[in-house]
């Protein structure tokens, strides 16, 4: 065996998972072959065995499936995959029905297939460390825990109790696992695991799994139970409403859970295998694995960060502007232990900005998620002020004032001299080119864009923008700062709108253009939702403010004129401009946009849209509408890649999903092209361009860039 070390001494069979040349243990092909050999050896030596200990030579217990192999699968591989899954479970079943006590010594995290390995044991003993995680997060990768995870977790926790961990992929710490009853004992450190395992083996010579015990019943009952039946009756409809049929893994998982409780254990595991074999070769699974595993790990591992520079964390950070963005950044910093100076034009405004953190922390205190002492400590890290002098000694200063070039230049020049030696200055602008803003700086090489998304306390993505003069050290420090906040950094090069705002603009403006074509606003919104966007284009434009979109349009026209050119506004931009300038519909904050917002009532689409833009002869195809919204964003993303605004596929995919809500089922804006098939995507884009204009035209340069960055699989 190459991935497993086996030793039998004093009646104890010690099985140590140790995949060579790998930081973690995975269910690779060699491991699957080794498990068959292990099962055979355990059976052959059964009479000499008093107990079995499952252990790991890695810092984690077991990582799960070999996802690189998964990316190369084709639909025709499904039957072979099914047989492979069944063989893995046959080996698991051999171990747990050996008639000998089996203990899993969980020295570190066990996720996905790793948790399913742990579930083979009759007893699970874990190190009591909060950073260790257990669970089955497969749905987040478009898969299901099909190596026994669904069947066993459902039989341990019941149909209702297991749902958060199977359908939502919720993880749990060792202490939470103990409370759930899926871990049986905690020890203070890894060195204590074996002694605890041997003691339990000695005391329990005839251990077996709960579902193998005579008289076993599933906690909470089966679907025959009236309470369970009532909940299950509405579950599929609720799931469909949430997933819109775009995420088959969640529906398959629920099916396997319910069907499995109505049959014997072995039949239940076969049902599970069939669903997994169908999913694992599907395009959605490939898209989601590519992005949420490989792309995300590329970012976490710092592949977008300039290399060879020491890691950095600022001790003191200043924020200019205590509005919603500035207040949100202050909270994000203070919650991570960073001393924060929050400056505005008046003490009252600065205090109000700190009040945002007080409100957020009080909510956590009220819900029992934070203690009063921790709340006070967090708030004490935020110093609200109107005095620029209080910024003295900041390692980093971020301006988060209104999107006005002159205002940003003024606050930059006032605050920059307060930086500590070697400090950096950043702009939180969402659209204005960083290189232009850096002209106000005395040290443009230390000037960088750090674009947060609203609300800062909820949005995980931060877009780092490298200006023409920004040096590597400043980009690296911005990257480290964002990671220190527990957020996800992507790195892009400077341009108007950068990456996220530019692509987001194509989504909302394509929706506005549809309204201008006479398509009912409700249909436009539904097209966005059916495509998988979290919010329709009109609703999200109201949230970000139509007036802001027009302000950006005016600024863009002015910049083009200053350069001797003319900016040609799109049909969507012209419609939004009319909404603001002719009809005073500025967005949700102003109480009127594409929607009406009656005080104390529910929002509803403004009836005036139909009167102004509706057409009796308007016709539409829902697939065309959905494609327009998705293809327009993907094409603009590909243009960013071709122009060098984006330099990696992983920044594009992660940025599009976490920054602008591009549907997760696609794997992101570039993965949507690769998942569709490059040639098939170009063909569909040509059809859309012929019908709906130049926004869908793909140049040879863009096609070349997409081919050049095609994923490895």
Q: What is the pLDDT of residues 551-610, one digit of tens each?
A: 989 988 988 999 899 999 999 999 999 999 999 999 999 999 999 999 989 999 999 999
Determine the pLDDT at residue 227: 82
Residue 33 has pLDDT above 80, yes or no: yes
Name every residue whose Cβ is closer than 8 Å to that of residue 497 and which is 6 or more positions away in sequence. 430, 431, 505
Under the banding of pLDDT at 50, 70 and 90, the label for residue 226 is confident
In angstroms, the CA 342 to CA 353 distance is: 8
H/E stretch holding 48 reads none
pTM of this structure:
0.92
Instruction: Tell me the pLDDT tens digit for each residue of 244-282.
Output: 889 999 999 999 999 999 999 999 999 999 999 999 999
State percent of the chain over pLDDT 90. 91
| Closest to 403 (Cα-Cα) out of 425, 426, 432 | 432
State percent of the chain over pLDDT 70. 100
Under the banding of pLDDT at 50, 70 and 90, the label for residue 529 is very high
Strands 394-399 and 488-493: what pairing? unpaired
Residue 224 has pLDDT above 90, yes or no: no
Class of domain 316-496 (CATH, top level):
alpha beta
Angle at 615 between CA 611 and CA 620, to 5 degrees: 130
Mean pLDDT confidence for 271-299 = 95
Least confident of 238-247, 255-264, 298-307: 238-247
In angstroms, the CA 27 to CA 67 distance is: 9
Alpha helices in 72-188 (DSSP H): 78-96, 113-118, 149-166, 174-180
How many residues are present in the chain?
A: 713
Residue 238 has pLDDT above 90, yes or no: no
Q: Where are the beta strands (DSSP E) in 467-585?
A: 488-493
Residue with tokens 């097209």: 527
| Closest to 471 (Cα-Cα) out of 450, 493, 498, 444 | 444
DSSP character string of 189-205: SGGGHHHHHHHHHHH-T
Strands 461-466 and 339-343: what pairing? unpaired
Q: Which of 96, 138, 339, 573 is catalytic?
A: 138
Q: Is 116 a catalytic residue?
A: yes
Class of domain 501-644+648-708 (CATH, top level):
mainly alpha
Mean pLDDT confidence for 611-620 = 92
Strands 382-385 and 604-605: what pairing? unpaired
Say if residue 302 is exposed, middle or buried (CB neighbours under 10 Å; 0-12, 13-18, 19+). Answer: middle
DSSP character string of 550-582: HHHHHHHHHHHHHTT------HHHHHHHHHHHT
Q: Which of 7, 37, 86, 116 is catalytic?
A: 116
Determine the pLDDT at residue 695: 95
Determine the pLDDT at residue 657: 97
Instruction: Tell me the pLDDT tens digit for each residue of 44-100.
Output: 999 999 999 999 999 999 998 888 888 889 999 999 999 999 999 999 999 999 999
Residue pair 71/290 in contact (Cβ under 8 Å)? The answer is yes
Superfamily of domain 4-281: 2-enoyl-CoA Hydratase; Chain A, domain 1 (3.90.226.10)
Determine the pLDDT at residue 304: 94
Copy the structure tokens of residue 393. 């000694």
Mean pLDDT confidence for 203-212 = 95
Instruction: Tell me the pLDDT tens digit for each residue of 145-173.
Output: 999 999 999 999 999 999 999 999 999 99
Least confident of 216-225, 344-353, 463-472: 216-225
Q: Is 138 a catalytic residue?
A: yes
Cα dihedral 474, 477, 481, 482 in deg (nearest 10): 70
Q: Would you list the domain boundaries of the chain?
A: 4-281, 316-496, 501-644+648-708
Determine the pLDDT at residue 712: 77
Residue 490 has pLDDT above 80, yes or no: yes
Task: State the chain's mean pLDDT as an integer.
Answer: 95
Rounded to 5 degrees, φ, ψ at 278 are -70, -40
Determine the pLDDT at residue 274: 97
The DSSP symbol for 24 reads: S
Residue with tokens 């200990």: 53
Determine the pLDDT at residue 31: 96
Whether 316-496 and 501-644+648-708 share one fold: the answer is: no
Instruction: Tell me the pLDDT tens digit for each residue of 646-705.
Output: 999 999 999 999 999 999 999 999 999 999 999 999 999 999 999 999 999 999 999 999
Residue 534 has pLDDT above 90, yes or no: yes
Determine the pLDDT at residue 68: 86
Determine the pLDDT at residue 231: 78
Residue pair 46/39 in contact (Cβ under 8 Å)? The answer is no
Strands 316-320 and 134-135: what pairing? unpaired
Determine the pLDDT at residue 344: 97
Residue 713 has pLDDT above 80, yes or no: no
In angstroms, the CA 512 to CA 532 distance is: 18
In angstroms, the CA 132 to CA 285 distance is: 26
| Closest to 663 (Cα-Cα) out of 677, 650, 653 | 653
| Closest to 26 (Cα-Cα) out of 72, 74, 58 | 58
Pairwise pLDDT comparison (457 vs 430), residue with the higher score: 457
């Amino acid at each position: 065996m190459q991935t497993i070390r086996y030793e039998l001494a004093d009646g104890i069979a010690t099985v140590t998972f140790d995949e060579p040349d790998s930081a973690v243990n995975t269910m690779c092909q060699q491991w699957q072959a080794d498990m068959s050999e292990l099962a055979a050896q355990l059976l052959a030596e059964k009479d000499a065995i008093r107990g079995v200990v499952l252990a790991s030579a890695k810092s984690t217990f077991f990582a799960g499936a070999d996802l690189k192999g998964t990316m190369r699968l084709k639909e025709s591989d499904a039957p072979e995959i099914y047989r492979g899954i069944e063989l893995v479970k046959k080996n698991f079943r051999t171990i747990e029905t050996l008639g000998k006590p089996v203990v899993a010594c969980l020295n570190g995290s066990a996720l996905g297939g790793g948790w399913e390995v742990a579930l083979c044991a009759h007893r699970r003993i874990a190190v009591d460390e909060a950073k260790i995680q257990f669970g089955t997060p497969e749905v987040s990768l478009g898969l299901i825990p099909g190596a026994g995870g669904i069947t066993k977790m459902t039989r341990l926790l019941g149909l209702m109790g297991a749902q958060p961990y199977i359908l939502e992929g919720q993880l749990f710490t060792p202490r939470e696992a103990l409370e759930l009853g899926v871990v049986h004992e905690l020890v203070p450190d890894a060195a204590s695991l074996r002694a605890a395992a041997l003691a339990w083996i000695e005391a329990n010579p005839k251990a077996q799994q709960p579902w193998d015990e005579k008289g076993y019943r599933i906690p909470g009952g089966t679907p025959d139970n009236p309470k369970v039946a009532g909940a299950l009756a509405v579950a599929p409809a609720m799931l469909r409403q949430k997933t819109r049929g775009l995420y088959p893994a969640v529906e398959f998982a629920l099916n396997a859970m319910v069907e499995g409780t109505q049959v014997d254990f072995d039949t239940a595991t076969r049902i599970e295998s069939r669903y997994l074999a169908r999913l694992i070769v599907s395009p959605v699974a490939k898209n989601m694995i590519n992005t949420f595993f490989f792309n995300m790990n590329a970012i976490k591992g710092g592949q977008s960060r300039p290399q060879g520079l020491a890691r950095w964390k600022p001790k003191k950070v200043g924020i200019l502007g205590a509005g919603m963005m500035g207040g949100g950044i202050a909270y994000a910093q203070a919650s991570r232990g960073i001393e924060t100076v929050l400056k505005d034009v008046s003490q009252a405004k600065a205090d109000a900005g700190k009040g945002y953190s007080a409100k957020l922390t009080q909510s956590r205190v009220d819900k029992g998620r934070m203690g009063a002492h921790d709340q006070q400590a967090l708030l004490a890290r935020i110093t609200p002020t109107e005095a620029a002098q209080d910024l003295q000694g900041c390692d980093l200063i971020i301006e988060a004032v209104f999107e006005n070039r002159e205002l940003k230049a003024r606050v930059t020049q006032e605050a920059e001299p307060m930086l500590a030696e070697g400090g950096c200055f950043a702009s939180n602008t969402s659209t204005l080119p960083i290189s232009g803003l850096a002209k106000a700086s005395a040290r443009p090489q230390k000037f960088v864009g750090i674009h947060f998304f609203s609300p800062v306390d909820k949005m995980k993505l931060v877009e780092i923008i490298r200006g023409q003069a920004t040096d590597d050290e400043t980009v690296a420090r911005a990257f480290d700062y964002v990671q220190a906040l527990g957020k996800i950094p992507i790195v892009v090069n400077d341009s108007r709108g950068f990456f996220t705002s530019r692509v987001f603009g194509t989504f909302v403006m394509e929706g506005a253009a549809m309204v201008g074509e006479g398509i009912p606003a409700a249909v436009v919104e539904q097209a966005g939702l059916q495509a998988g966007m979290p919010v329709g284009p009109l609703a999200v434009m109201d949230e970000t403010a139509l007036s802001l979109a027009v302000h950006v349009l005016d600024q863009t026209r002015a910049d083009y004129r200053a350069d001797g050119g003319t900016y040609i506004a799109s049909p969507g931009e012209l419609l939004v401009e009319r909404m603001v300038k002719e009809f005073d519909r500025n967005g949700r904050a102003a109480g009127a946009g594409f929607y009406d917002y009656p005080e104390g009532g529910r929002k509803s689409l403004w009836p005036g849209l139909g009167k102004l833009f509706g057409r009796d002869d308007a016709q539409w195809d829902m697939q065309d509408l959905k494609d327009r919204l998705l293809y327009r964003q993907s094409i603009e993303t590909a243009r960013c890649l071709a122009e060098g605004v984006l330099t990696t596929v992983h920044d594009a995919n992660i940025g599009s999903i976490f920054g602008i809500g591009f549907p997760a089922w696609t794997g992101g804006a570039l993965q949507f092209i690769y998942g569709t098939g490059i040639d098939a995507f170009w063909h569909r884009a040509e059809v859309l361009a012929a019908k709906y204009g130049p926004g869908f035209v793909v140049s040879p340069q863009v096609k070349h860039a997409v081919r050049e960055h095609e994923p490895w699989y």
